């Protein structure tokens, strides 16, 4: 009987030492990995001489991606794309093309074109404010993190009206109350 109890305790101990299996199909984990690279942030897309902006906004298991340009201090040509979870897959609807998430870790996101099955898009975070972005057409562009969207748009308009360049400054100015004279 004593041998049976000892064997039972050894089996329980061995079973408790098994590593916990993680479900790689968990959509929250996939979206967390995407967010660890893009954040819910505004990014300047530098593609040669063309400049546009991408704003990533995550709500649960969906990321809305707004692509826009700036003209005369206002955002124009706004296109809304999204990254959604469907049937155990994460799909990015990018400019009328569906891209399937094939891999994501702390620094890289890989997307595959659903209609061709070929690698289509890749994002590699190079540091906290830069992402190397291989576009679906194969061209490589750079993403540079900008100010929060609301501050960015207000400064763009102000810069256009007053001929200044506060948008390029990372400093967010705050208003301080005036000190009373004694």
Strands 140-145 and 42-47, bridge-based pairing = antiparallel
State the virtual CA torsion across 136, 138, 140, 142 in degrees, nearest 10: 0
What rounded mean pLDDT belongs to the chain? 85
Query: How many domains does the chain fold into?
Result: 1
Does residue 10 lie within any of the structural domains? no
13-32 per-position pLDDT tens digit: 766 665 555 555 688 999 99
Q: Quote the tokens at residue 163.
A: 């001929």
Q: Quote the tokens at residue 136.
A: 């679906």
Report the percent of the chain where pLDDT is more than 70.
82
Does residue 178 lie within any of the structural domains? no
Q: Which domain holds residue 71?
A: 23-164
| pLDDT higher than 60, residue 118 | yes
| pLDDT higher than 90, residue 56 | yes
Burial class (CB in 10 A: 0-12, 13-18, 19+), 23: exposed
- State the average pLDDT over residues 133-141: 86
Domain at 67, CATH number: 2.40.128
**pTM for the model:** 0.77
């Amino acid at each position: 009987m004593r041998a049976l109890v000892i064997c039972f305790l050894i089996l329980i101990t061995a079973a408790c030492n098994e590593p916990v299996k993680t479900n790689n199909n968990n959509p929250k984990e996939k979206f967390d990995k995407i967010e660890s690279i893009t954040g819910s942030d505004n990014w300047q897309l530098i593609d040669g001489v063309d400049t546009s902006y991408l704003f990533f906004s995550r709500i649960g298991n969906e990321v809305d991606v707004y692509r826009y340009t700036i003209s005369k201090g206002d955002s124009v040509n706004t296109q809304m794309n999204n990254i959604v979870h469907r049937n155990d897959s994460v799909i990015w609807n990018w400019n009328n093309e569906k891209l399937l998430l094939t891999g994501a870790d702390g620094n890289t996101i890989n997307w595959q074109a659903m209609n061709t099955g070929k690698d289509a898009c890749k994002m590699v975070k190079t540091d906290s404010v830069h992402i190397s972005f291989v576009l679906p057409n194969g061209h490589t562009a750079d993403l540079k993190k900008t100010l929060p969207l609301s501050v960015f748009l207000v400064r763009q308009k102000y810069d256009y009206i007053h001929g200044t360049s506060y948008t390029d400054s990372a400093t967010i100015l705050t208003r301080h109350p005036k000190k009373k004279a004694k």
